[in-house]
Structure 1
Amino acid sequence: MRAVLVLSLLASTALLPPPALSQGVAPAAYPAASEVASPAAMARLADRLSRLAEDGLDPRHYHVPPAELAAADPARYNAETMRAARAALTDLLLGRVASLRGRVDLRRDPSSVNVSAWMAELGTAREPAEVIERASNLPPDAPALKAELARYRALVAAGGWPRITGDTRRTLEPGSTDAARVPQLRARLAFIDAALVEGAAATNPVYDERLLAAVRQFQAQEGLETDGRVGAITWATLNIPAEAKVNQLRVALDMRRGQPPRSTERRIEVNIPHYRLQLLEGDRVVRDMAVIVGRRDRQTPMLNVRMTSVQFNPQWGVPERNAREDLLPRFRRDPAAMQARGYRMYQRIDGEVVEIDPTTIDFSGYSRTNFPYYIRQDAGDTNALGRIKFVMPNGDDIYMHDTPDRHLFSRGQRAFSSGCIRLERPMELLSEALSGTGSWDRAQVDRVLASRATRSAPLARSIPVRLHYTTVIVEGGRVVMRQDIYELDAEYARALDRAQNQRLASVDGGAARNTGTR
């Protein structure tokens, strides 16, 4: 899919912003300066524009004129302030970043916002700063996100939190003594519980109960396992700088601008950095479950697709990358054990694909760059896809499926797959997917699963599936942040900070980040 978002906006004060172009209104319809605002109101507008950092935007992009110009050349001051205001208003209404390569999950709908009406109001308002303020609060959850952004910006202004040094590869256990790392841990977690560093506690080398409670609170806040053990993942999370949190919140605000109305259609949404799947009907959550997503080096791509069928007892045709990188070392160690788990090896000989007994192969002669075999895994309890596969046709060969590795769902961070989505409770999703599909009741499903035969069932109604990347959500008024596991927020923040915003950029249908399953 390629969609072109109009409303081009250059960060130049010499140009009128093109929102008018998309609404069929000539640029001349926008006055060069406010028609009714007093000099004091224009000064308040300039002040509000100088505080666009509160909204996650960089005020420097809008070229707000200096206050001195108001006395030297009032007409020019008013004109330049209004041009800056229109540019800022466009970004507040529609989002500054129009599109990013591979990010088909980013949603912009210029028609959802009557830009012309906003521009007209800005030009006729006695207090145009109030128009900017209202626009800044339009995105869903904007007040909560802006409050959290202000909190983290204050932390950054104060120097942020200290980085923990030393051996962060070694796990720190509750009750242990560590004169180097425990005081640093206390200082870092004092941002959660200031009493951790009061008086003599600041240099206490014992990982005591008070510190354990703070560690668990931090782990829960970050979506980690709340076991109190400070291992490599917790150390790394502790050392994420406050500046990164600021950027995540800026991205969260911009992503929410200019969004289309919420769909009323029955649909599935998978939030990758939160490792969650939700089946929704309007605003109602019908099903909610944990998922496992692609590793950092085999990222799950963003997709807008439809689930069309379900496959029972699927076989797994192992993609070449998985075969070379994941399974070859296991075949080297114990080919008989791999055979017992249902893996079969094939080789093309004289134009025919022939099955080869893996116990007869000397795997020491093969490597990731030299592996002439194809691998397939039979259906069964040990199959990597489990007993159910949910098919949603796409060019990246991504699907959702069951898994025999149930223990992984107890982990806080669940980026373990090669790109596909593993489901915590596939039978629950199956019952929803098969709703209205002829004779496919639970008894029929159980019979097919018990038969071990591979069989497919088309859905009576295909279901939209959206794989999206949203690290910051708001639940019950509380901001919940998760790690930027694929560094897509960092990429978005760089686009947000570009001096020139190109709103005519086209949306790429999605660059493949990887292929094969998962």
Structure 2
Amino acid sequence: MRTLPAFGLALALFGAAAPALAEPPAAPATLLAAPAEARHRLAERLRRLEEDGLEPRFYAIPEESQALADPAGYQSALARATILALTDLLHGRVASLANRPDLRRDTAALPLGPWLAELAASPEPATLIDRAALLPPEAAALKRALAAARARVAAGGWPAVPAPAGNETLEPGAIDPVRVPALRARLSAGDPQVALNGSDTYDPELVAAVQRFQAAEGLEPDGRIGRLTFLALNRPAEAKVNQLRVALDMRRAAAAEPRERRIEVNVAHQRLAVVEAGRTLLAMNVIVGKPARATPMMRVRLTSVQFNPPWGVPVRNAREDLLPRFRRDPRAMMEKGFRVFGMVEGERVEIDPTTIDWRSVSPERFPYIIRQDAGDANALGRIKFVMPNGEDIYMHDTPDRHLFRRPDRAFSSGCIRLERPLELLDIVLEGAAGWDRARVQRVLDSRQTTAIAAPRSLPVRLFYSTAVVEGDEVKLRPDIYGLDEAYLRAMDATRARVAQR
């Protein structure tokens, strides 16, 4: 929970030394220089803080009736509410969260002093609120999207589309007198191209509308309506409001990223970009950790590359992922390069997996160490990018190339699988004498494990933002790890006691 800083300028505003704003001090009636009509407009603007993703109830905005009954108390309360709201609009409500090193604020780059000085002298203080609300990057587009999302909630949300009891998929051309009319009603609420014609046939026009919806939701736009599409169709309208509220607050006073060449991985959007001085040098799809094994957010540096890497299988992967496969066919696992080691008389020895009774092996007390030799079938592919960290997370190639065509790509055990590892390698090895594609191919063809240090280490940021702005369009992706939910809880808990004063 964030405690707002004390600031010396409050001497001019409050006429006394000011404590931290987490405990708002009393203010004299002469706090604001604005005339009464402007103070009224300021109060009205504060009551519309929800359009900025903030909850007006947290700021104890005084009622207009108090202006006549207690003018001094009204101005003091209005000043307190204004300063708290202005601080949140500039610096964000959530200073930091556990396990979120990707969230960094630089409030020093946006000092409150000049804003408070202008607030004290402004004849129209509501304009400061407007300016502060639009200050974060992409705030205008996010606010427009938030207004549309709130309008949808006010209109009653989205019409429900009954999902099948099993895992049946609604296929193009199907006739369904229950789901197809409901689907038309749901899509017509957000897509003006969808006509409510009363047909119960999943016809080409409706298929095209579903494909547009799927593309916007980050789903495979094939027109087939399965479990994920049904879930997206029936996601509450309030969920979009909450995602946009989080997106706005995350951008407030966000620390600027360095202009040096760096690697950015948006885990929520499952995309990687290499950026330098504001230019994107490379972008690609990536595969990230499944929700049960979420990719951790972190800031590290890429220091080296390993060719033809072997895979030392983590214990969790061995017992949860590989044990069932060894039970089914241990010989097939051997053919994929997996080797099993155990302790015999205090020494580690290799064991023939076909001699082990795998059905008697307990996953809770898994007694073996498993390695996979380098090769085409290796889970790490042929290239591993090393970025030292305490979580044993790295980026790597993969033999499962078909998964990159999927719009939902949360399949890994936490590491980042790369769609185009060779193109990233070109950037990482830039400046390494003698390392061109021909030499890289020779090393790969040798099947020998080889490592090389990067000529210069590159910063790597694994971050999580479900809202991405492209032009004027806001694209939202599902909150696969629940990190937006956690941020929202912190956002709506911070200084909630202000409303109770």
Alignment of 1:419-434 (within 5 A): 419-434=414-429
- Post-superposition offset of 1:194: 4.4
1:155 equivalent to 2:138? Answer no
1:121-159 deviation digits (Å, cap 9, x = unpaired):
111111111011100000001111001100000110111
The amino acid that maps onto 1:468 is F
Shift of 1:190: 1.2
Equivalents in 2 of 1:187, 1:194: separation in Å?
11
- TM-score where L is the length of structure 1: 0.91
Counterpart among 296, 304, 313 of residue 308 in structure 2: 313
Cα shift at 1:88: 0.4
- Identity fraction in percent: 58
Q: Which digits, 9 at most, give the CA deviation of each residue in 1:458-502, with x for residues without a partner?
A: 011000000000010111121111111111111111111115269
C-alpha deviation, 1:163, in angstroms: 2.4
Counterpart residue identity of residue 418, structure 2: L
Change (3 A) 1:351 1:57: same
Q: What's the counterpart of residue 182 of structure 1?
A: 180
Looking at structure 1, the residues matched to 337 and 193 of structure 2 have their Cα atoms a distance apart, in angstroms, of: 56
What SS does the corresponding residue of 1:491 show, helix, strand or coil? helix
CA distance in 2, matches of 1:372, 1:461: 40
Gaps of 5+ in 1: 10-17, 503-518
Q: Deviations over 1:275-298 (max 9, x none)?
A: 100000021000000000000100
Equivalent in the alignment of 1:192:
190
Q: Partner of 1:165 in structure 2?
A: 162
Following superposition, the deviation at residue 35 of structure 1 comes to 4.1
Preserved contact between residue 219 and residue 229 of structure 2 (Cα < 8 Å)? yes
Q: How far did 1:362 drift?
A: 1.1
Provide the residue aligned with 2:11 in structure 1: 28
* Residue in structure 2 matching 1:331, options 315, 322, 326: 326
Question: Which letter does structure 1 place at the counterpart of 2:150?
Answer: R
Q: Which amino acid aligns with 2:348?
A: V
Equivalent of 2:130, from 133, 138, 144?
133
Q: 2-side partners of 1:50 and 1:476: how far apart?
A: 30
Q: Which residue of 2 aligns with 1:261?
A: 256
Change (3 A) 1:451 1:376: same
Structure 2 CA distance for partners of 1:42 and 1:306, relative to 1, 3 Å: same
Is 1:121 matched with 2:118?
yes
1:48 aligned to which of 35, 45, 50: 45
Instruction: Say which of 88, 91, 95 aligns to 2:88.
Output: 91
Is the CA contact 1:472–1:479 (under 8 Å) kept in the aligned structure 2? yes
Query: Are 1:104 and 2:87 an aligned pair?
Result: no
Is contact 2:301–2:457 with CA below 8 Å preserved after alignment? yes
TM-score between the two structures when normalised by the length of structure 2: 0.94
- Of 444, 465, 472, the residue aligned with 1:470 is 465
Question: Which residue identity lines up with residue 216 of structure 1 in the other structure?
Answer: Q
CA contact (8 A) 1:262 1:282 kept: no
Number of aligned positions between the proteins = 482
Higher relative contact order, structure no. (Cα contacts within 8 Å, ≥ 6 residues apart): 1
Aligned match for 1:276, one of 268, 271, 283: 271
Matched, 1:81 2:78: yes
CA RMSD of aligned residues (A): 1.5
The superposition leaves residues 350-397 of structure 1 with CA deviations (integer Å, 9 ceiling, x where unpaired) of 221110000111111013213211100000000000000000001100
Aligned mates of 1:44, 1:34 — CA distance in 2: 16
- Separation in structure 2 between the aligned mates of residue 273 and residue 88 of structure 1, nearest angstrom: 29
Question: C-alpha offsets along residues 149-205 of structure 1, whole Å, 9 cap, x if unaligned?
Answer: 00000110111002222416210000011122212211111123346453xx23x22
CA distance in 2, matches of 1:482, 1:227: 18
* Equivalent position of 2:209 in the other structure: 214
Letter in 2 for 1:59: P
**More displaced 10-residue stretch of structure 1: 274-283 or 165-174:** 165-174
Aligned to 2:367: 372
DSSP-derived class of the 1:43 partner:
helix
